[in-house]
Amino acid sequence: MISRRLFIENIIKTLGISAFSAGLIDRLIVNSLTYAQNNDLSLKNRAAAKGLFYGAASFKRVLSYPDFSKTFIEECGILVPEWELKWRALRPTPTSYDFNAFDWLINFTSKNNMKFRGHTLVWHDDLPAWFSNTVNSSNAKKYLQDHILTVMKRHAGKIHSWDVVNEPIAMWDKHPDGLRASSPWYKLLGPEYIEIAFRTASEADPNAMLVLNQNHLEQDKDDGTRSSVLKLLKRLKFTGTPIHALGIESHLGGKDYSFNKSKFKAFLSNVADIGLKIIITELDVMDQYMPKDISLRDKMVANIYEEYLSTALSESAVIGVLTWGLSDRYTWLSKFAPREDKAQVRPLPLDQNLQRKLAWYSIANAFDNTRAR
Ligand code: G3I
């Protein structure tokens, strides 16, 4: 049975380039992608119908805007703060914490019956200015443990999962195990910082799922990171470290994007075989190098979403999906990966006006077509 997408591609090929006109491509693709049974069902409800969760990253600032907040609540069953729980946001001084945003976001999710993901307790990036001249090899363990215990205990029992350690693998650091040797935490404590972090987190909130979150796991060129992260996860499990899941960031697209379904599926299966769950934690599709034509660009982005997510969700250890933002109105890619033609980037399920795009339908179809957990 020919797939709908293949059927459409064949039509376009036989009709020639003229088929790429915005109108036809929209009708052809939207028809194919919107065969979701019930268009009114939001992404969070489609995910929940299969025993999964869907949500997105956001900020206190934008969740304070009524129009965005209303849409976010409709579509998302879980929130992860894009910035407010990082050291630079939480730690104005070496001896103080600013929990204003954390408390507001926890209140927002509990008021709206939404799960909450903590991101992130230990990262090499976005550390406060005082860090480098305050934390040293003799006090680093105490700073690390005090931070984890204080932050996690603030709302212990209310957090679905925590990204305990973020991006510990970086192949370009040339470490024999692929570890990010340039991380301040690695330099101060050695590779043990990872196990210390997880053991401390388990003590701080025994109810939270403890996650190791990693980027560069999605594409063909990521074999090195994949084998390094598997090696690390096996070692952590072998030493009895309390770790429950791998977060796969899933920032897709970009130059020379290459996705191999069977290789990615094999990687997911290897992670599941270690006894870990998997969360797709920061899904978006960079359109920086795609054509300017919006209908064509949206189709390309939607195809990447559909191919990636249908493959990821075919692994039963995958328990949920978060996009790194909900609407093109607020995406880190506007600054991080702007288009040369200055056109607005379109990486997320909703457009600038909070309207559903083809990407939304791709995600909806991936939830509709996966097995229930
Ligand atoms: O909003 C504050 C403002 O109040 C403050 O005065 C100002 C001081 O510089 O910072 C502003 O916050 C910025 C924040 O984004 C919100 O816009 C921070 O400067 C800026 O560093 C922060 O960038 C975030 C980046 O991580 C670094 O934390 C991006 O939004 C966020 O998308 C990005 O997310 C990372 C994940 O955590 C890990 N995986 C990769 C992903 C993309 O880089």
Query: How many angstroms separate the alpha carbon of residue 31 from the centre of ligand 1?
Result: 37
| pLDDT score of 9 more than 80 | no
User: Cα–Cα distance between 65 and 61 in angstroms, integer?
Assistant: 7
C-beta 298 within 6 A of ligand 1: no
Mean pLDDT of the 128-150 span: 98
How far out from the chain centre does Cα 19 lie? 34
Mean pLDDT of the 175-202 span: 98
CA 325 to ligand 1: nearest atom: 32
Rounded to 10 degrees, what is the CA torsion of 157, 160, 166, 167? 160
C-beta 84 within 6 A of ligand 1: no
Which residue among 75, 82, 84, 167 is the active-site one?
A: 167
167 is an active site residue = yes
Q: Which residue has the higher pLDDT, 117 or 9?
A: 117
Question: With DSSP H G I counted as helix, E B as strand and the rest as coil, what are the percentages for the chain, rounded to 5?
Answer: 45, 15, 40
Q: List the structure tokens of 306.
A: 């559909």
User: Cα–Cα distance between 78 and 66 in angstroms, integer?
Assistant: 18
Angle, CA 252 vertex, CA 102 and CA 337 arms, to 5°: 75
Query: How many angstroms separate the alpha carbon of residue 83 from the centre of ligand 1?
Result: 5
pLDDT in tens, 269-307: 999 999 999 999 999 999 999 999 999 999 999 999 999
Mean pLDDT of the 46-70 span: 98
First to last CA, the chain: 26
What is the best residue among 60, 62, 82, 331 to mutate for testing ligand 1's pocket, by most ligand atoms within 8 Å of CB?
Answer: 82
C-beta 117 within 6 A of ligand 1: no
Task: Write down the pLDDT at residue 40.
Answer: 82
Task: Write down the pLDDT at residue 17.
Answer: 38
| pLDDT score of 19 more than 50 | no
Closest CA to 121 of 158, 91, 96, 95: 91
pLDDT in tens, 218-246: 999 999 999 999 999 999 999 999 999 99
Q: List the structure tokens of 27.
A: 């009708």
Burial class of residue 79 (count of CB atoms within 10 Å of its CB; 0-12, 13-18, 19+): buried
User: Cα–Cα distance between 351 and 353 in angstroms, integer?
Assistant: 5
Mean pLDDT of the 244-269 span: 97
C-beta 216 within 6 A of ligand 1: no
How far out from the chain centre does Cα 174 lie? 25
| pLDDT score of 123 more than 90 | yes
Nearest CA to ligand 1 atom 41: 282
Q: Which residue has the higher pLDDT, 33 or 134?
A: 134
Task: Write down the pLDDT at residue 227.
Answer: 98
Which residue do the tokens 């305990």 mark? 164
Torsions phi, psi for 97 (to 5 deg): -125, 145
Q: Which residue has the higher pLDDT, 31 or 193?
A: 193
Task: Write down the pLDDT at residue 33.
Answer: 52
Average pLDDT of the chain, as a whole number: 93
Task: Write down the pLDDT at residue 2.
Answer: 41
User: Is the bond leading into 200 cis (omega within 30 degrees of zero)?
Assistant: no
**Are 11 and 19 a contacting pair, CB within 8 Å?**
yes
Mean pLDDT of the 350-361 span: 98
282 is an active site residue = yes
C-beta 83 within 6 A of ligand 1: yes
Task: Write down the pLDDT at residue 242.
Answer: 98
Nearest CA to ligand 1 atom 13: 83
Which residue do the tokens 């980037």 mark? 345
Mean pLDDT of the 317-334 span: 98
How far out from the chain centre does Cα 339 lie? 22
Query: How many angstroms separate the alpha carbon of residue 84 from the centre of ligand 1?
Result: 8
C-beta 75 within 6 A of ligand 1: no
| pLDDT score of 109 more than 60 | yes
C-beta 98 within 6 A of ligand 1: no
C-beta 82 within 6 A of ligand 1: yes
Nearest CA to ligand 1 atom 14: 83
C-beta 163 within 6 A of ligand 1: no
What is the best residue among 83, 323, 326 to mutate for testing ligand 1's pocket, by most ligand atoms within 8 Å of CB?
Answer: 83
| pLDDT score of 149 more than 90 | yes
